[in-house]
């Protein structure tokens, strides 16, 4: 795995991409130095007072697994997006193929269990259930669960119901997504060059 990623990083393709975003990384206020990010730091940021009425945060469940004590001690609503395993793992494999090889590793050669030791592939659903159970026991309000296929096929039906469940006024504009590079640069905060790099590669192809 490490050798494959090293070859990927050494490729002319990735060198060109990183050279392209190098100056943007230095100048972009949304890029956070990864050395500053820890569980306690993130918890502190989430607990800071803010003039904003609503903040949406998207994360992977396995990122907080075994560190549930760092969930923020502020009022929040948790939502789970679920997907059938056959679709979820197929999509994940498609992503990994392009993460390991910018030209796309051969489908048969890619084994998500062996090629992603950094990710608890076999326990994705078990970890989600663990957090869901924890929230049932510790939160006053039950988490919201959305099936991704319902969201993808009927967003005009699911999103209004979701916002109603959260007690947030819904706007028709929420059904539109401006996913341009400029929009991502302005709005998406993250660590390292991830913010700018992902929008220029095929890493999420197929998701």
Average pLDDT over residues 45-62: 87
Average pLDDT over residues 91-95: 85
Q: Average pLDDT, whole number, for the chain?
A: 80
Is the pLDDT assigned to residue 200 strictly greater than 60? no
The pLDDT score that the predictor gives to residue 202 is: 43
The pLDDT score that the predictor gives to residue 93 is: 86
Q: What is the per-residue DSSP string for 130-171?
A: HHHHHHHHH-SSPPEEEEHHHHHH-HHHHHHHHHHHHT----
pLDDT digits (tens, 9 = 90+) for 94-121: 887 877 676 767 888 888 877 676 677 8
């Amino acid at each position: 795995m490490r050798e494959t990623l090293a070859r990927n990083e050494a490729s002319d393709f990735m060198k060109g991409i990183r050279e392209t975003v190098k100056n943007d990384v230095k100048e972009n206020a949304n890029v956070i130095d990864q050395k500053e990010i820890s569980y306690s730091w993130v918890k502190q940021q989430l607990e800071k007072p803010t003039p904003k009425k609503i903040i949406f945060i998207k994360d992977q469940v396995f990122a907080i697994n075994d560190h549930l004590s760092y969930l923020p001690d502020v009022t929040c609503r948790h939502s789970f997006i679920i997907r059938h395993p056959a679709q979820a793992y197929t999509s994940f494999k498609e992503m990994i193929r392009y993460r390991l090889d910018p030209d796309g590793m051969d489908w048969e050669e890619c084994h998500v269990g062996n090629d992603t030791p950094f990710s608890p592939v076999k326990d994705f659903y078990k970890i989600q259930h663990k957090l869901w159970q924890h929230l049932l026991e510790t939160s006053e309000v039950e988490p919201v669960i959305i099936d991704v296929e319902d969201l993808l096929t009927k967003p005009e039906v699911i999103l209004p119901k979701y916002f109603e469940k959260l007690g947030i006024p819904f706007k028709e504009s929420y059904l539109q997504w401006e996913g341009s590079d400029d929009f991502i640069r302005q709005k998406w905060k993250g660590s390292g060059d991830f913010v700018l790099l992902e929008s220029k590669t095929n890493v999420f192809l197929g998701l």
